[in-house]
Amino acid sequence: MFWRSKIQKLSDNVHQIHLGGTSVTVVENREGPILIDAGFRWNGRTIKKSLHTLGYAVEDITKILLTHYHPDHSGGLHGLLNKGIPEVHVHPYENDIITGQSDMPGIIQRPFLAKLGNPFLNLLKGKPIRHSLKLHDGDKIDSSIPIEIIHTPGHTDGSVCFYLPGEGILIAGDALSMNKKEVHGPSKFFSQDWDMAIDSINKLITIDYNIICFSHYKPVLHKGREKVEQLVVRLNR
């Protein structure tokens, strides 16, 4: 995992900002940068500084796309929206959570720890936002850099990955993880439906990409799909 903030270039148009425990990705769209995920609620200053390094102000961001609702991905939304960012996109299953119309489901899935851990994690969530636009499987984001939506439920019901075919990049959120230089599925400890997560992983070998961008680990920079294919083989043993 990354615990220090840094900017990593993934392609000419895509940079990942590692925030210490989580990350966001900047896609340099012609109309203005697109931010994928928003970090924790206290990450705003680091995001602002990193955007400045890339030549942007926070106000230049045109869209925020969320991989899922967990507070290390959505907590910073409210602070960024105060800067005037016009659009937030999230899967419909999670719209009511980030807009405050329903409570955040428990994140820890093991019953003996959930009673203590989930109330604490609930304190990490950001303020609700007023509204969002809904992402559906197969949607394509209106941008100069093609971005396709892949619904990958399992970690959460509304988890999505973002596929950038022109860049050869899969932004996996928490649908995938890394351990000992191997790609793995999401953490069972924090995932709502493991069987569904496996089905989602199988979807990720039907597209072509070289780079995998995770939320909590160093990216895979070469042979990304091949590593996911190896994961599928291990899961099917």
Q: Which tokens belong to 175?
A: 């649908």
- For the cut 90, the answer to whether the pLDDT of residue 132 exceeds it is no
Q: Are the C-beta atoms of 209 and 229 separated by less than 8 Å?
A: no
**Pick the residue with more confidence: 123 or 237?**
237
Is the Cα dihedral 2, 82, 132, 108 positive or negative? positive
Instruction: Say which range, 143-147, 189-193, 197-201, 209-213, has the weakest mean pLDDT.
Output: 189-193
Q: Please tell me which residue, 108 or 137, carries the higher pLDDT value.
A: 137
pLDDT at 233 over 60: yes
Give me the mean pLDDT over the 188-198 stretch: 88
More confident residue, 114 or 38: 38
Question: Rounded to an integer, what distance in angstroms lies between the CA atom of residue 211 and that of residue 221?
Answer: 5
Matching CATH number, 6-235, of 3.40.50.720, 3.50.30.60, 1.10.357.10, 3.60.15.10: 3.60.15.10
Q: What residue ranges do the domains of the chain occupy?
A: 6-235
Residue 231 has phi, psi (to 5 degrees) of: -60, -45
List pLDDT tens digits, range 94-123.
998 888 887 666 654 555 444 444 454 555
User: For 130, what's the count of Cα atoms within 13 Å in the CB-facing half-sphere?
Assistant: 7
Residue closest to 83 by CA, chosen among 129, 125, 120: 129
Torsion sign, CA atoms 136, 108, 173, 212: negative
pLDDT of residue 113: 46
pLDDT tens digit sequence for 40-59: 988 988 999 999 999 999 99
pLDDT, position 112: 47
Sequence-separated (6 or more) residues with CB below 8 Å from residue 56: 26, 32, 33
Specify whether the CB–CB gap between 229 and 205 falls below 8 A.
Answer: yes
